Amino acid sequence: MIAEQAVAQLGSIENLVTLTAEQFTSGSLILMVSYGAHFAFILFFLMMSLQLAPRYRIVPILSAVVMASAGLSLLREFNLWQSSYELVAGVYRPLAENQSFTNAFRYGNWTITVPILLTQLAIAFGIARPDLHKRALRMIVPAVLMIWTGLYGQFGETGDWSRFNIWGVISTIFFVWLIIEVRGVISIGVANSPAELKAWPKNIWWYFLATWGIYPIAYALPQLGFNGDVVVIRQLLFSVADISSKLIYGLILSRYVLRRSALEGYVPAAEALETSPLGSAVASRRGD
């Protein structure tokens, strides 16, 4: 009973399993690559915004904000990981009495980044105010409820399975609500896009489902057992999901609004695309 209570208090399976040197190093490497990638792309997104028509510049600028916010959060996870284990006789033992690892900070970070990612989508698809605010809010409300109910549920991952599963299901209901709202924005995106770009919102839809869908899988993983492989694979899933739903997503949206800028007659964007078929088509339409 005492042991169970102690386990429940620890909150994260990372504090219950001993890792091999390989598993510990893999975890460090995954977290390091994650924060490194996010920080590196701050500069890219800021510079990229200069090529865009003014109404779209905020799209990559928001990606830069997401990169900084996620980068800091992942750097924190990396530092926590490093200080949560001690090397004893060739294995890494959790130091839970002093310092304990948690993925809960990620949920705090998503509370900031997810509303930004969703708002970016509505801006990129050219939705005008006040409809923009309405649509953004309609996505943000279920998204934040999804994150906070999931945050509450994940504290049960060390063995309180009813808490874990009930709140996991409630969170999934909010996720389904969010998906419906995103679908609505995608439809507006298809309707609003110039003919040459109508495939982009449709592809972004499938990309959204595939990348955001990784998070609930990572959440559910501790039910497969408490061992080093599960711990490392979960960090890997979070990392793949983070890089694709924030960084690569930002690249896709930026490329889309670059094309839109060019098609709407913004010369620096057309020049930036000059070597692509779309860029030369726009340039020849202008008569040069």
Residues that bind ligand RET (CB under 6 A): 70, 110, 113-114, 146-147, 150, 168, 171-172, 175, 212, 215-216, 219, 245-246
SS3 category, 99: coil
- Taking the C-alpha atoms of residue 153 and residue 163, their distance in angstroms, rounded to an integer, is 6
Secondary element (H or E) of residue 251: helix 249-263
Report the nearest approach of ligand RET to the CB of residue 215 (Å). Answer: 3
Report the nearest approach of ligand RET to the CB of residue 66 (Å). Answer: 7
Place of tokens 């990372």: 14
**Which residue, 80 or 248, has its beta carbon nearer to ligand RET?**
248
**Which residue, 213 or 265, has its beta carbon nearer to ligand RET?**
213
Report the nearest approach of ligand RET to the CB of residue 237 (Å). Answer: 11
**Which residue, 216 or 268, has its beta carbon nearer to ligand RET?**
216
Place of tokens 């750097």: 75
Report the nearest approach of ligand RET to the CB of residue 21 (Å). Answer: 29
Report the nearest approach of ligand RET to the CB of residue 153 (Å). Answer: 6
Place of tokens 């057992």: 225
Residue nearest to ligand RET (CB): 150
Cβ 189 vs Cβ 260: under 8 Å: no
**Which residue, 170 or 281, has its beta carbon nearer to ligand RET?**
170
Report the nearest approach of ligand RET to the CB of residue 211 (Å). Answer: 7
**Which residue, 74 or 263, has its beta carbon nearer to ligand RET?**
74
Rg (CA), the chain: 21
Look at residues 273, 267, 274, 256 and name the one whose alpha carbon lies nearest to residue 126. Answer: 256
Q: Where are the alpha helices (DSSP H) in the chain?
A: 2-10, 21-48, 58-83, 104-124, 131-154, 161-192, 199-212, 214-220, 228-242, 249-263, 267-272, 277-285
**Which residue, 19 or 241, has its beta carbon nearer to ligand RET?**
241
Show Cβ contacts of residue 120 under 8 Å, excluding neighbours closer than 6 positions.
Answer: 59, 62, 63, 250, 253
